[in-house]
Structures are given as C-alpha cells and as structure tokens.
Structure 1
Amino acid sequence: MGTLTYKKSYKKSYKAPIKLSKIAVLVSSVLTLLPASMATAAEVEETITVTGSRFDRSAEQQLMVINTIEREEIERLNPKSVADVLEILPGVSVSRNGGPGQNTSISIRGSNSNHVLVLIDGVKIGSATLGAVSFNTLSPENIERVEVLKGPRASIWGSDAIGGVIQIFTRQLKEGEWFASTEYGSNDYIRGTLGFGVNHGEGSTSFSVNHEQSDGYDVYNGSDVENDDDGYQRSSFSLKGSQPINQYWQALWNAQYDKGTYQYDDTFASGSADESDYENYLWNLGAKYRNESFISKLTLSQSRDYNENFRGDNTNVPTNIYETTRDQINWSNQYTVTNGLILNGGIDWSREEISGDYEQNQRDIIGVYGLLQQQWNKLLIEVAVRYDDVENIDSELSYNTSLAYQFNAQWRLSATTGTSFKAPTFNDLYWPNSGNPDLLSETAKNYDLTLNYQVDNLVAYVSLFQNQVDNLITWASTGEMEVRKPVNINKAEMSGAELSANYQLFNLEHQLSYTYLKAEDTQTDEQLIGRSKHDFSYLLSYEWQQFDLLANYHYQGERYAGYGDFFDSYQQLDLSVGYHIDNRWTLRLKANNLLDETIISAKNYLSPSRELFFSVNYQAF
C-alpha cells in the first residue's frame, strides 16, 4: 500500500472551501477523503497523516479508530468551547455543568472522564489531584487540529489512556500569514483573536492571542437560592515554531498560557458567591533528527494546572488552592527497516508535583515502550509493549496487538486487543485523613473489530468494541462513623457499536454517526451514571458561490442519573452561515440550540438555551 492522498478541490477565485470530510474515518484503513464538490475545479493533492503512534503516518498505516478535525472545519463550526468541537465525533460524549465557561467532562466510548489522556502539542495536561482536565479553560481559537484516538493506547502513551487519547495541536503560521477576528453574541459574549507568523532564516514562529468573555446565565436549576448569572472570561496566548539546523537536525518549540475566571453554582446551592480563577501554562523544547530511514525526537516540557476557588462573601481570599506542576522528558524514535517493517521505541519520564497538605506531594513516573509494524501484501500487523514504573505504586506492563486485512480497494477489516491502566490520583492516595496509599492502578482490557468501506463518494466504517475495567477506585464507607476512603472494588464493562459515514454529492456533504453503548457496573448490573445508550449526529455542509452553510444536528439519548433517575433525551440543532466577501474577509452568523431545547447533561445544571453570534474574520495566507 502506498502513501494515502486525497484531492482537495477549490475555485480559483476564492479560497479553498472549508471541508468537513476528515472527521469521519481515519481508522486502520485506506480512507481517501473526497472532493467537496463535483464542479470543475483545480485539484491539489495532499497527504493525510495522523500521529497515533507518535510519528506522522499515513492513515492506511493506522490500526485504531482515529477521528480528526481540522482548522477550517473548526472555523465553520464556530465553537465556544473545545467540548463543542469534540461532541460532533462518534463515540465522544460531553457532560457540562452549564455553558462553555463551566466545568466539562469528556467520555470516549463510555469511559470515565479521567480515563482519557489529553495532550497539547505532545505535552500532557490536567490535574494530578483530581485526575481531570479543565476543558473549559481551553480556547478553540488557538487550535489547528484535533485527533481523537479510540481505545486503549497505554502501550504507547502510558497512564490514563484507557478510553482513548485526545491530541490538540495549536496553530502555526509563516511570515506573511496572519488572521484576525471579532465576535459578539448572546449573553453579551465578546471575543477578539489575532495571530501572525514571522520567519527567521528557514524557520518560522507563529503567535496567537485570544480573549473572550460573557455575562453568562444562571446555570443551576436545583434551587431558587442561587439565581444569579454565571459569567466567565478567559485569555490565552500561544506560540509555536521550528528552525532547521542542517539537513538532518531541527529545533522545535511551543508554549501556551491560559488565564481566566468563571462563576459557578455549587451543588449545595448555599447562595454563596462561587468563583474560580485559573492560570495554566505549558512549554515544550525539542530537537528532531531525520534521515531517510530514521527519526529521533527528544523533548523537554513542563505544564502547570493552577486553580483558586472563592466562596462566601469574601472573594479576596481563596478558600482552596489546587496546583499541579508536571515536568516531562520524552525520547521517541522510529526506524523504517524496509518498506514493510517499521520499528518505534522510546523512553518517557515525568515528575508530578502538587501543592497542599498531603502526605506525599510528588512522584516520578518512567515508561519504556517498543512497537513493531509489519506489512505483508494485504496483511498489516502491529505489536506494542510498554513498561511503566509509578513511584510508590505497582508497576504496569501494557500491550497492544492489532492486525488488518485489505480485501480490495473498497473493504478492510481490522482487529485490536490491548491493555491499559490509570495510576491513582494524589487525592485517592494521600487526601488528608482519608487517602489510601495501598491503592492499585485501575486496569482495563479492550477488544475492537472495525470494518471499513470506501467508494468514489462514500467513506464509512462500523466498529464493535468492548472495554473491561477492573480495580475501579470508589470512595466507600469504612464502617467508622462517616469516614470514607477510596478502595479498588468496582468493575465496569463498556461495549457497543460505532458507525460513521461521509457521503458527498455535488456541493452537499453529509456526515452521519451513531453510537450504541452499553455501560454497566458488572457487580450490580446497574447502568453507569452519565452514559446513554443512543447517540446520533448529522452534519450537512453546503457551498454555493460565496456562501457556505453548516447544519449540525445532535440527538442524545436519556442518561442514567443514579438512584433510578434519568436525564431526559434531547436534540440540538446548530446552524452556521458564512459569507465570503473575497478570499480574505468572511462574515459568519451562528445559531446554537435553534430549537431552544432544555438540555441537562449533569444533575440540576442547564446548558445554554437558544443563542445567536455574529463574527467578522480576516485571514491572509
């Protein structure tokens, strides 16, 4: 199998039309994304690569389900949060404590939200105390591409990758390329974004800045006590660059800084003034060596997750401070032995350090991994093994075994099995007076069978999956008064089917995805909280002369809320209309929740009602 390419069509008098094709199926198969139009147009070939094995590879070399979203697709979606981007993907479920500035959790194929590894430009982010990622602090305006890997990838990435991996890549521009945009909308939402690139010799560095704020609305409907609006504001800055040193060596760097505040309503509805401030950052320095058959990359990075909570009438003194600092060193290598044999391997080291009155406030984690991929005619095989040693916790050996068979140009079948784990958080282990330092890591075993189909104007796949999780950590009573401690007692199983199809005809592009999920506690046979059995999305994209239209319909089945209760199912329709004045200026009108549905995905928390936004965008590329 050769390099995967697709042909992108565009009209010479305008910029390349914004396509929504890449969301569908980068799944262990030969997937050729198709023209957005059947009209006469100039054609440009572009190679699609994804980084499921840490290095760029064509989609035909991947043996797991990978969905991607590109910058031009994000612009048409005009999201207000990263969760808005992820929610349109099959198998990805979002739970919100309100709108875009509120706490948000992401689940992949029914996994816990803390069973999803999140990376920004290769740097792991998130809290080591809670084990969660604050998606509400991230701005979608600084994102170039998102990749979502389905299934366990601990054999490549280490801890947390039980449900999958979310990789976020920030924007990079060259000299003469720049963009600016402004937006105003419902709840006094205001946004301003600016980005530009500069060259230095043969290298370049891009800079981007974004600020947005909203007066918000009352997110909590469980009490009449806290009936105030819950607004937010956030600012972000990012830079990303590279510099060739010679024909083999390249220097790489990137950094991101996020700062903001958001008001929220706590579940106790005490009527206090609840507010949270955050100030997060990451930076990454790297060197990359490449020749015809060997690639080696060494990176040094650091990330910080910092949050201050304020409650009560005194908003000048924080009642709680949470901080995680994570230092990382990663050395990864890829050697192409022959056209059909590829070897990967590397070492990862990280040190997690937290603030607070904990028995232990730091730990080191070291992992060593290796991967072999072999192509024999129509058969592709991949085996990966990784050993992780987590300080003061048991060590873990993870593996992945995958194979795919290409029947013909249209059909491909792939199968994967693998193990994964998540190390206990600092709260689980060392929370003052109630932590349990004897905890084991949560572990999982996954099975996946995926069938792919491709013809001239249709790309589709259906994937059957099962994920069995053991040693789940649950806070349970110790029998001593009201003392509760975390213990490894729960087991869960998530199984189901995921279907995605991308069909194109003339200027219309249809994208459909459906997920059936059965997620249960295997000890009680009770449905897992926050999961729904049925999830359906349909995106319709249309282009006509200077206009583009995107209709995004999402149906979420009822979710289990615990104690025999369910959150009602809902349907949401978003509509985006863009007018391209020329190849640089674009006006866009976006309507969210056009049907004005009452949407509740977390107990007593309301998602936004109908909203309207208008933006003006300029870009020079």
Structure 2
Amino acid sequence: MTLPVTRQATIASLALAIATPSIAQTTAIDAVIVTATRTPQKASEVISDTVTITSDEIARAGVGSVTELLQRQRGLEVTRNGGPGTNSTVFIRGANSNQNIVLVDGVRIGSSTSGAANWSAIPLSAIDRIEIVYGPLSTLYGADAIGGVIQIFTKKGKGEPALTAFVGAGSDSTREADAAISGSTGKVSYALSAGKERSDGFSATRPGNFSYNGDEDGYDRKSAAGQFTVQLAPGHEAGALFLYSSTEADTDAGAGSYNAHSVQDQNNVAVFSRHQLLPGWSMQLQASQSRDKGGNFSNATPAGASQINTKQTTYNWQNDIQLGGDTLQLLAEHRKEEVVSNTAGLTRDRKTSSYAATYNMKRGAHLLAFGARNDDSSQYGSKGTGSAGYGYRFSSALRFNASFGTSFRAPTFNELYYPGFGQPGNKPEKGRNAEAGLQYNDGKTQLGAVYYRNKLSDLLVSTTPCPLPGFQFGCAYNVNKATLEGVSLSAQHQLGDFALSATADFQDPKDDTTGKQLARRAKRHGNLAVEYGTGPLRGGLEWQVSSARFDNAGNTARLGGYGQVNLFATWQFDRDWSALVRWNNVADKQYELARYYNNAGSSVFAGLRYGMK
C-alpha cells in the first residue's frame, strides 16, 4: 500500500528526529546567499528554501559532471540519455527542466526551442559554487521560474596570485585536465581557467531502443572561463566575464558505419558595473549575451544534420535601497530571444521587457518579504506575478518560514512554431505555490523540513488527437493541470571526526487531468552520506536511492527503483598537493533513468590536484 505523502513525511520526520545525534552540518549559519534575493544576504535572513554547494564540496566530490553533483542534493532528480556528455534533464521538486531557470553568474542560459539548459556544456572546472533556490521566483527572474532557480558562480580573483591545476583518469578511458590562475593586483582582480575532458564512454542505449547500437559512445569537452574586475573609484567597479564550452558526444542514431554525434556549445559574455551611489543606495548594471548552439549529426551528409541555435541578449538595471534595516529593490530588464534553425518555421525572435519591485523587512524576530513583477512579451503579452514570505526566529538556531508565490512558464519556440506540432496561440503555463517549513542550525547540527504545494494550470502537453484540425500526429496544447506536492527533509550533524548527512523527499507530482504520475519523477528519493576526516585524510560513503518512476505520461512504461553506493577519499599529502579517488556504483547496479538508456556501471576515477598560493 502506498502511503499519502503527508503520512510518509510524518514517518520520515520522526525517523530524522531520532537520528539527530548522528547526522551532520556543513553550512555556516551566516553563509551568504545571492540568488534568493538577487543581492548578497546572510543565510539566516533568507526566507526561501536554499542549498549551497561549496567549492570544497565540489573538489572532494570527484564527480564527472554538474548533473552528478546535483543528483546528490535534496529536491532534485536527474535523467540522462546515456553518459555524462549526453542530454540531461534536472527536475526541481517535480518541476520539469523547462519550468526552472539556470543562471551562470547572473546570465540566463538555455535553449528557447526546448526551454531547458544544456547541462553537458557546463564545465565543473570553472565552478566556484552553486546556489539552489526552491520554489517560484518569477517575481525576481521572470518566465520559467516555477520550480526554482539554479545559479552557478564561476571562480573570481582575490588576494595574492594563485595557481591551481588538476589531472585525473578513470574507467572508460576517461581523462581530464584543467588549470586556473586568479588573484588581484592593485585595482584589478582576475580569474582565468581552462579545461579538457575526454572519455571513450559506454553504449548510450540498451536493447529495445529504436536506435540501439552496442558500441561505445564517448565525449570530448573543452572549456574556458574568466572574470576581470577593475575598481574605478571607492565604491565603483566595472568588469567583464566569459564562459566557453564545447562538447561533442557520440550517439546511437547513425546510419551504417557513420559515427553519429551531437555538438553542444555554450558561450556567455557579459559586462557589468556596480556603484555605491549613496551610503544606502547601490546600483548594478549588466549587459549579457548567451549563445546555446546545438547540432545532431546522424549521417555524413548535410541533410542528416539538425541544427538549432539560441541567442539571448539581456540588459539589467538593479537598485538596492536601504531603508533602516529594510531593503527596497527596483529592477528593470529587457531580454531578446533569437532562434536560428534549419528546421522550417523555427527561425524567430521575441522580446520581453520587465519591471519588478521587492521589499524585505526585519522587525525583531520577524522577517517579511514582498515582491511584484510584470513581464511584457512581444509574443505572449503581459504577465504579472507576485510573492509574499514570512519568517519567525524562535531562537538564534530555530526558525519558521512560510511563503506564497505565483509564477509562469513561457511557451517554447517548439511549442509555438515547430512544423506539425507547435501552435502560435499557445498560452503560458501558470503556477501558484504555497509552502511552509522549519529550519534548525546551531552551527553544528542542521535540520530542515519543508512542505510545498504548487498548482499548475494551462499545462502544455503533447495532445493526441489535437483539438485543432490539420495535426495528424498531435500537437502542443494548453490542456492539462498538475499538482506538485511534497515534503523535503534534510539533516546534518558533526559527530567528532564524522560528518553525517541525510535527505529524504516525499512527493506526488501528478497530472490532475489524467490522474497519472508525471513522467520520470519518483514519489520518493533521498541520499545518505557518511564522511570521516582526520588530519590530511578524508573519506566517505554515499547512498543514493529512488523509488520507481514512469517513462511516459500514460504510466505504462515503468522505470524500476534503484539504490547506488559510491565511495570517495582525498589525501592532502603536501601543503600544495592532494590526491582523490572515487568509486561510483560500487555494486555495479544496472538501472534506467530513461527508458532503454544506459547509465555507468561500476567505475573508478582518480586525480591529482595542485594548488599554490
């Protein structure tokens, strides 16, 4: 018998409460969060539900991709069509990949045709930290922030010049190398990094897939990133940043002996300035451009290539005004999306102008936040969103949070214009989310429990038969409603030399129109980690678990549940040198995240890191 989500959560809450003496905390109480309010804010004063993945955690993880790192976090699920170089989807609290926003240093990335970010093109070597904010953030970031926002921050320069380098190799002939230099001299700070990864991989598909081929499907990725900042005068600075990544991955979609492959490029550039105009008034300006280029080459002739390129150009003007202990934020934004494709009808553009205001208050033990935004698009018209949040500190360690927010997702260019499928009249999806939670953090022990309920309407789905004439194989249409409901639990604790942590998510992502479970989303998933560290040695174990999911909307193609155990260790054998080793999927568990697509079996990766300051 399947328990209702609320009863499951009650049982899990009791289990975590009993386990509290042996579960560990790693996030500082006053860590600074940027994404939740678009400005640096102490974690103890942030009402939104957040997680930060630090640079130390990324270095120790030894994982092969950003999605492997995200898969370890609560509230997140990942699907992949094969190995690290292939297409991936990240769900936040059951929200689809096109219902979430991904930012790199404030620059929105993603394809305007699919609505999703290209995770395979983001290099781990360039990342300083990752912030995850759960829940609707359309009042801050506009369209598509229904389930949450993931922001990746690349490395910045400060202090004396520092050089780091890494080289590693592992199973499937995987090899990786990267190097970075950063620092500051006088009024100039800088950070530059470059990396290269290559793997022979494994077969992306399994028997049963229409394009099954048992050969190895490897990938080749090269990347570079950089930031430069100049202090113009006290309180005034300007800078520029860039990110370049190109991934070529083999696929099982070719004809005959041709090596079918995909090419995914991600290119970001931005210029910015920050100004302290008055003691209580700061202003930020940023102009950015993000290019997502994708091509699938299924045979050796040009006719076999499908290419879609997205360019997003964005201008931001942000003002943060301190009013005593309160903060008023005023924002203006203009974004232009352009698609160029060799698919007839997809070469289009649309423009969106946005204005927003938020107000954050502190009154003793009370925290209050309000926000409103209007997005005016040349394609879907005007959309207004709003949010309100409340937090109450029972003590310096224990706090209650509650919030309500509206959000929307803009139709993708595929849903609007793809030949034989898109409908130019499709409307944005709408979301209404309410949540409440408790957080405990005394600097050694951290506990969290959040209940959320996100009601979606005008859900865009592939409908067969299409209610409009002329669509023989169905069309994209606003027909469904959905509910994303669940409880997300977390616990961490430092017990001597042991750091222990656990997460558990109990959710019910349901299509209300059909009563079916939303595809590729489990009702239960979680993580358990035990890490031991003394002196120069650290080592640990991770256990990732998930219940069964379905690969299709009709819930007829079942994907079984799974559990995977990973081991990792690091050794700081010199002041500037360290080594790491990671053994993933120790038991060689065979499982599917997508129907008839493989995941890596038991695999080992080892590396050597140098860091000079």
Structure 1 length normalisation: TM-score? 0.90
- Give 1:454 shift: 3.0
Match among 575, 582, 586 for residue 574 of structure 2: 582
Match among 514, 524, 527 for residue 514 of structure 2: 524
| Residue identity opposite 2:480 in structure 1 | N
Matched, 1:59 2:43: yes
2:107·2:268 contact (CA, 8 Å) conserved in 1? Answer: yes
Residue in 2 that maps onto 1:103: 87
| Residue identity opposite 1:500 in structure 2 | S
Residue in 1 that maps onto 2:321: 335
Residue in 2 that maps onto 1:38: none
| Residue identity opposite 2:60 in structure 1 | R
Residue in 1 that maps onto 2:11: none
2:35·2:133 contact (CA, 8 Å) conserved in 1? Answer: no
CA distance in 1, matches of 2:391, 2:257: 57
CA distance in 2, matches of 1:475, 1:219: 26
Q: Quickly say closer, same or farther: Cα 1:359–1:323, change in 2 above 3 A.
A: closer
2:346·2:413 contact (CA, 8 Å) conserved in 1? Answer: no
Q: Quickly say closer, same or farther: Cα 1:480–1:149, change in 2 above 3 A.
A: same
Match among 460, 483, 486 for residue 473 of structure 1: 460
Matched, 1:90 2:77: no
CA distance in 1, matches of 2:525, 2:372: 33
Matched, 1:372 2:372: no
CA distance in 2, matches of 1:177, 1:234: 25
Match among 207, 211, 236 for residue 223 of structure 2: 236
Q: Mapping of 1:24-423 within 5 angstroms?
A: 32-33=28-29, 48-174=32-158, 175-223=160-208, 225-266=212-253, 273-290=259-276, 291-312=278-299, 314=300, 319-339=305-325, 341-356=326-341, 357-358=344-345, 361-423=348-410
Matched, 1:608 2:597: no
CA distance in 2, matches of 1:148, 1:292: 30
Q: Quickly say closer, same or farther: Cα 1:463–1:481, change in 2 above 3 A.
A: closer
Aligned residues between the structures: 579
2:122·2:266 contact (CA, 8 Å) conserved in 1? Answer: no
Q: Secondary structure of the equivalent of 1:355?
A: strand
Q: Quickly say closer, same or farther: Cα 1:232–1:504, change in 2 above 3 A.
A: same
| Residue identity opposite 1:325 in structure 2 | K
| Residue identity opposite 2:569 in structure 1 | V
Q: Secondary structure of the equivalent of 2:67?
A: helix
Matched, 1:499 2:489: yes
Match among 579, 597, 609 for residue 589 of structure 2: 597
Per-residue CA deviation, residues 73-93 of structure 1 (Å, 9 max, x unaligned), is 101111111001111111011
- Give 1:136 shift: 1.2
| Residue identity opposite 1:510 in structure 2 | L
| Residue identity opposite 1:212 in structure 2 | E
| Residue identity opposite 1:214 in structure 2 | S
- Give 1:584 shift: 0.9
Matched, 1:539 2:529: yes
2:340·2:347 contact (CA, 8 Å) conserved in 1? Answer: no
Q: Secondary structure of the equivalent of 1:220?
A: coil
Bigger shift: 550-559 or 293-302? 550-559
Q: Secondary structure of the equivalent of 1:245?
A: strand
Q: Secondary structure of the equivalent of 1:156?
A: helix
CA distance in 2, matches of 1:449, 1:269: 53
Q: Secondary structure of the equivalent of 1:427?
A: helix
Q: Secondary structure of the equivalent of 2:416?
A: helix
CA distance in 2, matches of 1:279, 1:50: 27
Per-residue CA deviation, residues 417-476 of structure 1 (Å, 9 max, x unaligned), is 000011111111112344211111011000110111234631111000011111111122
2:157·2:184 contact (CA, 8 Å) conserved in 1? Answer: no
Per-residue CA deviation, residues 96-122 of structure 1 (Å, 9 max, x unaligned), is 111211111000000111111000000
| Residue identity opposite 1:283 in structure 2 | V
CA distance in 2, matches of 1:619, 1:21: 26
- Give 1:409 shift: 2.6
CA distance in 2, matches of 1:370, 1:154: 12
| Residue identity opposite 2:53 in structure 1 | I
Residue in 2 that maps onto 1:564: 556
CA distance in 2, matches of 1:359, 1:221: 32
CA distance in 2, matches of 1:144, 1:248: 24
Q: Quickly say closer, same or farther: Cα 1:125–1:22, change in 2 above 3 A.
A: farther
CA distance in 2, matches of 1:374, 1:101: 45
Per-residue CA deviation, residues 142-172 of structure 1 (Å, 9 max, x unaligned), is 1001000000000011011000000000012
Report sequence identity in percent: 27
- Give 1:316 shift: 6.8
Q: Secondary structure of the equivalent of 2:551?
A: strand
1:93·1:107 contact (CA, 8 Å) conserved in 2? Answer: yes
CA distance in 2, matches of 1:416, 1:513: 22
1:22·1:68 contact (CA, 8 Å) conserved in 2? Answer: no
Per-residue CA deviation, residues 566-603 of structure 1 (Å, 9 max, x unaligned), is 21111111111111111210011111111211121101
Residue in 2 that maps onto 1:618: 610
| Residue identity opposite 1:598 in structure 2 | Q
Residue in 2 that maps onto 1:4: none
- Give 1:405 shift: 1.1
2:570·2:580 contact (CA, 8 Å) conserved in 1? Answer: yes
Q: Quickly say closer, same or farther: Cα 1:481–1:375, change in 2 above 3 A.
A: closer
CA distance in 2, matches of 1:206, 1:135: 22
- Give 1:546 shift: 1.6
Q: Secondary structure of the equivalent of 2:381?
A: coil
- Give 1:198 shift: 5.0
CA distance in 1, matches of 2:233, 2:487: 48
CA distance in 2, matches of 1:258, 1:318: 24
- Give 1:274 shift: 2.4
Q: Secondary structure of the equivalent of 1:395?
A: strand
Q: Quickly say closer, same or farther: Cα 1:481–1:429, change in 2 above 3 A.
A: closer
Where in structure 1 are there 5+ consecutive unaligned residues?
Answer: 1-19, 24-31, 34-45
CA distance in 2, matches of 1:49, 1:520: 31
Match among 549, 554, 579 for residue 539 of structure 2: 549
Where in structure 2 are there 5+ consecutive unaligned residues?
Answer: 1-23
CA distance in 1, matches of 2:471, 2:337: 33
CA distance in 2, matches of 1:532, 1:113: 15
Supply the RMSD in Å over aligned alpha carbons.
1.9
CA distance in 2, matches of 1:370, 1:348: 12
CA distance in 2, matches of 1:289, 1:410: 34
- Give 1:50 shift: 3.4
| Residue identity opposite 2:547 in structure 1 | G
Per-residue CA deviation, residues 342-366 of structure 1 (Å, 9 max, x unaligned), is 1111111111111133276111111
- Give 1:410 shift: 3.3
CA distance in 2, matches of 1:270, 1:107: 35
